[in-house]
Every structure is written in C-alpha cells, then in structure tokens.
Amino acid sequence: MRRLFTSKTELLACLLPAFLACAFLLQPRTAGAVFTFVYQDKKFAVDTETVNSWHRPGSAFPASNLIEEKNSESQLAAEYFNQPAIKGKDSGSTYNYSPALVYKYINGLAKEIDLPAIEPELAILNQRAIKFTPPQNGLNTDVFESTKSALYALQNGQSSSNLTIGVSEPKTKLSDLNDLGIKELVARGESSFKGSPKNRRHNIQIGVDKMSGIILLPGEEFSFNKFLGPVEADQGFLPELVIKKDGTKPELGGGLCQVSSTTFRAAMAAGLPIKERKNHAYAVQYYSPQGTDATIYPGSVDLKFVNDTPGSLLIWPYLKDKDHLNFDFYGTKDSRAVTLFKPVQYDRKEDGSMKATWEREVIKNGIAKKDVFKSVYQSPALFHKEETFVNASSTPAAAAKPASPTPVTPTSN
C-alpha cells in the first residue's frame, strides 16, 4: 500500500537520512581516510595524518595556488597550473586541498621513483664479453600532471590516483656496440636458492662466473659442462651436498645445478631447441616448481641446447639479490612465439616420490612444435644423507648426479 505523508515535517523526517548520506558521499576526504598513489604494480600509501594536512575544510584553493611554497619548483608548478584546461581537467578549478602541499609530497615520491637512463657497455675478447652493462630506460615523474590528477581524485572522494611517469631511452643502442646481432633481451630464467648454506652459495657464484659473458654464434651448441670446465679445488670449488647413487654426500661443486637449472629455464623461455636435459634423482626444494630443473655431472650428464636465433646470443647471469639468480640471454628476437605451460606434478607418493611434466610450444615460421619434458623423482629416503666430505674418485661432481647417468631428451610431437 502506498503511504501518504500527512505533513511537511514527516516528509522531511523521512528524506533527511537519505540527504545526509548523499552529502557525506560527496564530501572531500576526511579524517581516517588513506590515499594511494599508483604506478603500474607499485603502490605508495599516504598516511591519514598527511592526507588530513592537505585538507582545508571551508577553504577554496585555486589550482594555481602553488606559490604557497616559496621555491623554484613551486614557482614552475604555479606557472603550469595557471594554464587553462589541460587534458580534460580544468586547471582553473578550485580545491579544498592545498595544491602546493600535494605537489611537494609527489615531488618527494619522484626522488624515490626517478631513474636515469643507463647507457649500454660491451667489450668482447676471444668471443667472450669481458664487460657488459645492459641498457636501461630511465623513469621521470611528471610532478605537475601527477599533482593535477591527485587534486582531481581527492576533490572527488577517490581513494587513489595514478602517477604520470615518463620513460627516457639511452642515447646509445646495444646494437651500435657490436655486429654480432646482440641488441636486445631475448629471454630470462630465474630461480631461488633461499636457505642455501655457505658452501653452496660459494659454488653458485663460481658457476655464475664460469657462465658469464659466453657468446654463442648462430647455430652453435651450448654445453654446460664444456663452459664449466674442471670442477677442482684449484678452481675454487668447495664441498657441498651432491646426490649420488649411494647417497647424498658432500663433493666439490655441490650446488652447481642451481646454475644449470636457471640456464635451462632461460633456454626454455627463449624457445631454443633443447638437446640434452636430465632431472634430479629426487625433488629438491631449490628447483621448485618441480619439473623445471636440469642436473649436470661432468663426464656423464650435461645440459645442451642450440642457438637457432638470427644472431649471436650473449649469456649474462647475475645474482638479483642474495637469494635469487637470473640468467639473461641477449641477442636478436625473431618472429617465433613461445608458450611455456605451467609445470604439472602428479603421482605423488607418501615417500616423496613423484612425476612431473613441463610443456612448451614454439611457433616458428608458421610451424608449431610442442616439447614435453618429463621428470621422474624417486624417494629421498633412497639417498641417505652424509655430512662427511668424500673426495670424488674420478671426475668431481658439479652438482646433483641423477640416479641414472643416461641423459633423457624431451619427447616431441
């Protein structure tokens, strides 16, 4: 049944709550609110006290009122905001927030965000890069435009605003420094070795040094063991745990499979033909997700792939931080499309054994080729852990040796 109001007083009593609710929603930001500046996947949260310090209830600041801060930057900002409407936002509008204070805050953020462009460096000796600095774009915060966007967002009760960031490119191109086709990042492999003991970290660093600067010519095959060389004490290697048929024991070079596995991941991402790859005897935490590892052992198991790109490939490994290793391949991209599917683990048993597959599809010259890399992991209990250093009787272990020394190549279809 439709209800009729008997008086103006009753009508106002019913409408007042709704009116107050709408008025609240239309108010500028108030105490307790938090504002966030956003740039791509980065977020910069502003605390409530700071946001409140920008707010001046009952005051109306013209957008040009940045002269409040007596410094050259604010003078420049004032000149900017004195311009008529720009990019759809009327710079002649008034705000209940101080443009000068917002500008000052964003200018502080710019000091954290802005980066100069890095010019590339490349020096090659005997088909090896002895010095390499990758090119890097610079970042420049447009403080004026970012301030304008923030004022607009604040005034309209929004909780965030995008920062306007410009990109500056290096003056020199990497391709200007060589005629080998090394001109851009082709692929990257990544891994984590968090929790590794001291000797393992030491061996990883030596492995990185051994692989650093390798240049593969077009059509050349990469062999991890070839570039690794002898794993001897005089090469600086220390004893660390290695998986062997009769147990997990410390041997010279233990942990180098962190390097070979990360190399394998980069080669997979680049869509390069993998000629030899073998998984570890059992699942190791450092090579998660399982199915993406590649063990090596000089004299029996190797990691091999071929550079089938249009130019030479520069292999550049580095520690991203104390727990993460990156392998970057620089060269010339072609039209190939590479799809790496998520590794799948299955047939898990209570004893820790499992199986895994990692699929990749490469479309090159209109022809699609799918590779399926299969891994079979045994129970760790089959490889009793020993802490006593065992000097290898023949070739020292470069890393975890699989149960069977026979290399397993991927199946293709």
Residue 21 pLDDT: 36
The amino acid at 37: F
Sorting pLDDT into bands at 50, 70 and 90, what band is 239? confident
Q: Which of 203-212, 324-333, 364-373, 397-406 has the lowest mean pLDDT?
A: 397-406
Mean pLDDT, range 152-167, rounded to an integer: 92
Do 281 and 399 belong to one domain?
Answer: yes
Instruction: Please provide residue 73's backbone torsions phi and psi, each rounded to the nearest 5 degrees.
Output: -65, -40
**392 and 266 belong to one structural domain:** yes
Q: How much of the chain exceeds pLDDT 90, in percent? A: 63
69 lies in a domain? yes
Q: Are residue 160 and residue 201 in the same domain, yes or no? A: no
- Report pLDDT digits (tens) over 192-227: 999 999 999 999 999 999 999 999 999 999 999 999
The Cβ of residue 290 has, within 10 Å, a number of other Cβ atoms equal to 22
Question: Residue 7 — pLDDT band, cuts 50, 70, 90?
Answer: low
Domain that holds residue 68: 28-115+140-168
Q: Is the pLDDT of residue 399 over 50?
A: no
Q: What is the mean pLDDT of residues 70-75?
A: 50
pLDDT the model gives residue 81 = 55
More confident residue, 94 or 187: 187
Predicted pLDDT at 79: 53
Over the Cα atoms of the chain, what is R_g? 30
Look at residue 407 in the predicted model and tell me its pLDDT.
35
Query: In this predicted structure, what is the pLDDT of residue 100?
Result: 78
Q: What is the mean pLDDT of residues 109-136?
A: 96
Sorting pLDDT into bands at 50, 70 and 90, what band is 31?
very low
Task: Tell me: do 313 and 263 sit in the same domain.
Answer: yes
Are both 229 and 106 inside the same structural domain?
no
Confidence of residue 246 (pLDDT cuts 50, 70, 90): low
19 contacts: CB under 8 Å, gap ≥ 6: none
The confidence score (pLDDT) of residue 8 equals 46
If DSSP codes are grouped into helix, strand and coil, which group holds residue 151? helix
398 and 251 part of one domain: yes
- Vertex 258 angle, CA 122 and 349, to 5°: 150
**Domain assignment present for 124:** no
pLDDT, tens digit, 9 for 90 and up, residues 368-386: 999 999 999 999 988 876 5
Is 214 found in the same domain as 156? no
76-90, 247-261, 326-340, 397-411 — most confident range? 326-340
Q: How far is the C-alpha of 413 from the C-alpha of 407, rounded, in Å?
A: 19
Other CB atoms closer than 10 Å to residue 220's CB: what's the count?
15
Please report whether residue 221 resides in a domain: yes
Query: How many separate domains does the chain show?
Result: 2
Question: What pLDDT, in 10s, does the model give residues 284-318?
Answer: 999 999 999 999 998 899 999 999 999 999 999 99
Residue 83 within a domain: yes
Cβ–Cβ < 8 Å for 361, 216? no
Model confidence at 20, in pLDDT bands (50, 70, 90)? Answer: very low
Pairing of strands 129-133, 138-141: unpaired
pLDDT band of 34, cuts 50, 70, 90: confident
For residue 86, give the DSSP letter. B
Higher pLDDT, 317 or 9: 317
User: 292 and 319 in one domain?
Assistant: yes
| Poorest-pLDDT segment among 200-204, 246-250, 356-360 | 246-250
pLDDT greater than 80 at residue 342: yes
CATH number at residue 52: 3.10.20
Give residue 75's pLDDT band: very low, low, confident or very high (50, 70, 90): low
> Based on the domain organization, do 163 and 193 belong to the same domain?
no
Distance between CA 351 and CA 132 in Å, rounded? 46
Note whether 100 and 198 are same-domain residues: no
Rounded to whole angstroms, the Cα distance separating 81 from 330 reads 44
- On whether residue 64 sits in a domain, the answer given is yes
Amino acid identity, residue 41?
Answer: D
Q: For residue 266, which of 207, 317, 230 has the smallest C-alpha distance?
A: 317
Q: What is the mean pLDDT of residues 152-162?
A: 91
Output the average pLDDT for the chain: 82
| % helix, strand, coil for the chain, step of 5 | 25, 30, 40
Say if 276 falls within a structural domain. yes
Whether 120 maps to a domain, the answer reads no
Strands 35-39 and 42-46: antiparallel
Q: Give strand pairing partners of 189.
A: 327
Q: Assess whether 163 and 197 both reside in one domain.
A: no
Q: Is residue 88 part of a domain?
A: yes
Q: Which residue has the higher pLDDT, 391 or 410?
A: 391
Regarding predicted confidence, which is higher, 402 or 383?
383
Residues 255-282 pLDDT 10s: 999 999 999 999 999 999 999 999 999 9
Are 100 and 208 contained in the same domain?
no
Cβ atoms 95, 63 nearer than 8 A:
yes
Burial class (CB in 10 A: 0-12, 13-18, 19+), 308: middle
Tokens of 288: 């998660």
**Residue-level pLDDT at 133:** 97
73 band by pLDDT with thresholds 50, 70 and 90: low
- Residue 211's identity, in one-letter code, is M
Is the per-residue pLDDT at 18 higher than 80?
Answer: no
